[in-house]
Amino acid sequence: MTEIINSYFPSLTNSEQKVATFVLNNLENVIFYSVTDLADEAGVGETTVLRFCRKIGLKGYQEFKLTIAQNLSEEKKDKNGSDSGNIIQSIANNSVYAIENTASMISEEDLNKAIELLQGAKSIHIFGVGSSGITAVDAKSRLLRIGIQASAITDSHLQAMSAATLSDQDVVIALSISGSTRDTIESVKIAKDNGAKIIAITYYSRSPITQFADVVLVGGAKESPLEGGSLTAKISQLFVVDLLCTGMALIQKDRSLEMKNKTAKAVVSKIY
């Protein structure tokens, strides 16, 4: 990747060269940046970053990060030969760190505001695709157990159509670790244009999805493009979902307990 950037460097504009210079000096860190982060660090606009990616022969920012991550991975393998160490303890430590990191990043004020929005919502819609789509389905299940109906929409077309029917009485929970997932962002924009309130759960406080959010719950674990859907990122998302569900359950304790008993009885016969 270094060679590719250097070969294109003379043909880049001054602004694009700022991006190139920063990337060349920070290759190992850039793979964890959102497009907004890189633009801010390089002192340019997001469109300049995207133009730079296309100038060096890539389709977009995510392909740019993936290419860097692949190159760094190959270099690491060449240096170290093969991975070693206690994989069980390593993964356990990463999971614990992810939760602790998320707990330290989330503002109690923002969490309470998100819970308040959900409490007052006529309907709740949870948007997520890919790995975040799995979390969306889990969030729906968690809410249902305390008697709160919500829809988990993981298909981009259905997300867009659903978003178009919303109003200022509805709330969307948008899940995206990167904060740059195109399908989710486009659906969130439609929902926002129709007046819906948006709660964004993302690792990057400065990412495209946050510009449409009424509340941003910053949590998760940074992951390189080669680690998409990693356990640590998933655990962090689920932790934030747990905070929201627990907060709502505490507000209506009696009803939540009643619904937990009802939903538990509804499926008890399905277990031997």
pLDDT in tens, 78-105: 555 445 457 888 788 888 888 888 888 8
Same domain as 143, residue 118: yes
| Euclidean distance between CA atoms 101 and 96, whole angstroms | 9
Do 43 and 171 sit in the same domain of this protein? no
Q: Are residues 186 and 107 part of one domain?
A: yes
In the chain, count H helices and then E strands. 13, 5
Q: Residue 111 — left, alpha, or beta (φ > 0 → left; ψ -120 to 50 → alpha)? A: alpha
Position 76 pLDDT exceeds 90: no
Helix (H) or strand (E) holding 231, with range, is helix 231-251
Q: Which of 80, 112, 129 is the last residue of a domain?
A: 80
Range with lowest mean pLDDT among 69-78, 111-120, 138-147: 69-78
User: How much of the chain exceeds pLDDT 90, in percent?
Assistant: 56
Q: Which residue among 57, 80, 103 closes a domain?
A: 80
pLDDT tens digits, 179-223: 888 999 999 999 999 999 999 999 877 788 999 999 999 875 555
Split into its structural domains, the chain has a count of: 2
Q: Three-state SS for 242? A: helix
* Overall average pLDDT of the 216-232 stretch: 66
Residue 6 has pLDDT above 70, yes or no: yes
CATH of the domain at 51: 1.10.10.10
Q: Note whether 104 and 217 are same-domain residues.
A: yes
57 and 132 belong to one structural domain: no
- Residues 69, 97: one domain? no
Do residue 219 and residue 194 come from a single domain? yes
- Co-location of 101 and 136 in the same domain: yes
**Would you say residue 1 has pLDDT above 90?**
no
Look at residue 4 and tell me whether its pLDDT is greater than 90.
no
Domain shared by 97 and 214, yes or no: yes
Q: What's residue 85's pLDDT?
A: 57
What does the pLDDT read at residue 227?
53
Question: What's the CATH number where 113 sits?
Answer: 3.40.50.10490
The pTM assigned to this predicted structure is: 0.73
| DSSP codes of every residue in 161-224 | HHHHT--TTEEEEEE-SSS--HHHHHHHHHHHHTT-EEEEEES-SSSGGGGG-SEEEE------
256-to-33, 60, 263 alpha-carbon distances in Å:
40, 45, 10
Q: What is the pLDDT of residue 218?
A: 84
Q: Please write the tens of the pLDDT for every residue from 114-128.
A: 999 999 999 999 999
Based on the domain organization, do 131 and 219 belong to the same domain? yes
Domain edge (last residue) among 13, 47, 80: 80
Q: What average pLDDT does range 145-172 have in this prediction?
A: 96
151 SS3 class: strand
Q: State which residues form the domain around 25.
A: 2-80
Phi/psi at 228 (5° precision): -55, 130
Are residues 16 and 45 part of one domain?
A: yes
What six digits make up the tokens of 108?
Answer: 């109690």
Report the pLDDT averaged over residues 225-245.
Answer: 80
Regarding whether 11 and 125 lie in a shared domain, the answer is: no
